[in-house]
Amino acid sequence: MNQPLIKKDLRIQADQQVQSSFLIERFDIPPTSCRKLVIDIIPSSRDLALDCLLIYDSHSNVRAQYRHVRGPKHIVIGEEEIESSTGTVPGPLPTGEWVMVMRSHSQALEPFCAYRYEITVQVQEALVGDQEN
Check which CATH number belongs to the domain holding 82 and give it: 2.60.120.380
pTM: 0.77
Range of the structural domain that residue 89 is part of = 4-123
pLDDT in tens, 58-108: 999 999 999 988 888 899 999 999 999 999 999 999 999 999 998 876 554
Any domain includes 109: yes
List Cβ neighbours of 104 (8 Å cut-off, separation of 6 or more). 12, 14, 21, 23, 48, 49, 50, 51, 115
Distances (CA, A) of 65 to 19, 50, 54, 85: 20, 12, 5, 11
- pLDDT at position 12 is 61
Any domain includes 81: yes
Asked if residues 39 and 26 have their Cβ atoms less than 8 Å apart, the reply is: no
Any domain includes 97: yes
Any domain includes 28: yes
Domain count across the chain = 1
pLDDT in tens, 2-44: 566 666 666 665 555 555 577 888 888 888 777 888 888 887 7
